[in-house]
Amino acid sequence: MAHTGRHGADSALAAGLATGLIVQTAAAAAGVSPRTAHRRLTDPSFRAEVDRARTDLIRQATGVLAGTATAAARELESLLDHPSGRVRLAAARAVLSLLPGLDSYASTVARLDALERLLTDDATTES
């Protein structure tokens, strides 16, 4: 696939690498040589572009998962009433195995929110 100029090739290369393509495959998709791709990877600003692209992909995937989480939780809840004891047990185990991670996440979010409030308050009082 041809790209217009270095910026277009860099963007395509970064996008390919961010999705986990090997260097040779990402380079071919971006229309550059593998040698060029390896050289670009030595540039900290290009590596940061790859990291930003990967972070964006992860955020998008997280959004999709978050959007389906309520439906998944409801499905687990409904399985707790299933006629089969094995199904009920599997659903109960799934619910209980998820709780520590959810609790840890909620605790971390609350702590980060408190830290951000402190930093904001400190910045306001220093101004």
Per-residue pLDDT of 60-86, as tens digits, reads: 999 999 999 999 999 999 999 999 999
Per-residue pLDDT of 9-63, as tens digits, reads: 999 999 999 999 999 999 999 999 999 999 999 999 999 999 999 999 999 999 9
State how far the alpha carbon of 16 is from the alpha carbons of 81, 115, 117, in Å: 45, 36, 38
Per-residue pLDDT of 83-109, as tens digits, reads: 999 999 999 999 999 989 988 999 999
CA atoms within 13 A on the CB side of 68: 6
pLDDT band at 1 (very low <50, low <70, confident <90, very high): very low
Q: Is the pLDDT of residue 2 over 50?
A: no
Residue 49 has which token pair? 């572009």
Q: Residues 8, 46: contact at Cβ < 8 Å?
A: no
Q: Residues 27, 33: contact at Cβ < 8 Å?
A: yes
Give pTM, 2 decimals.
Answer: 0.62
